[in-house]
Amino acid sequence: MFPSRKKKTIAILNLIISISLLFIVTVLTHTEYILPPFLATAATKYPDPDWREYRSFPIMISYLISSVIGVLFVLLSLTGLLMAMISAFVSFIIEVLINIEHPPSILASFLAVLEKVSPLFILHPVLTGVIIVEGVNYLLTRYIEPLIK
């Protein structure tokens, strides 16, 4: 079943608003490298634009798991392209095993290793980014969607 015109409008608004906010925040904080996974996450709202608690929390958890794994790799001096790939594999395997996979999130561990991030990476840009994308989608579906005819 395809989303209705109203759902498509909300999904497009979510992408534009959340990514615009993320763009501003990441440029100001010099963390532009994290935008790709959040672009993908915001775009996943197109086929299913409803905010659903049972989807948002696993997305948050998957990003947190991936970012923690990436930070652990960096702290253990496991850096470079090969280690970035391995961290992404480890992240995805763990997410699949605990049944909370969100494939764009594995980019968080990949990029963490490539960029050699600090532990603050988990809070910003990762947690900040996922809260923006999921929060904007919640606000749009809760308050704006009912106003669209």
pLDDT of res. 19: 92
Residues 40-83: pLDDT tens digits? 888 887 777 676 777 888 999 999 999 999 999 999 999 999 99
Give yes or no for residue 99 having a pLDDT over 90. Answer: yes
Residues 121-138: pLDDT tens digits? 999 999 999 999 999 988
Which tokens in the block code for residue 58?
Answer: 């696993």
Cα angle 134-129-74, degrees, rounded to a multiple of 5: 135
Provide the whole-model pTM: 0.89
For residue 50, the tally of other CB atoms under 10 A from its CB is 15
* Averaged pLDDT of the chain: 91
Give yes or no for residue 13 having a pLDDT over 80. Answer: yes
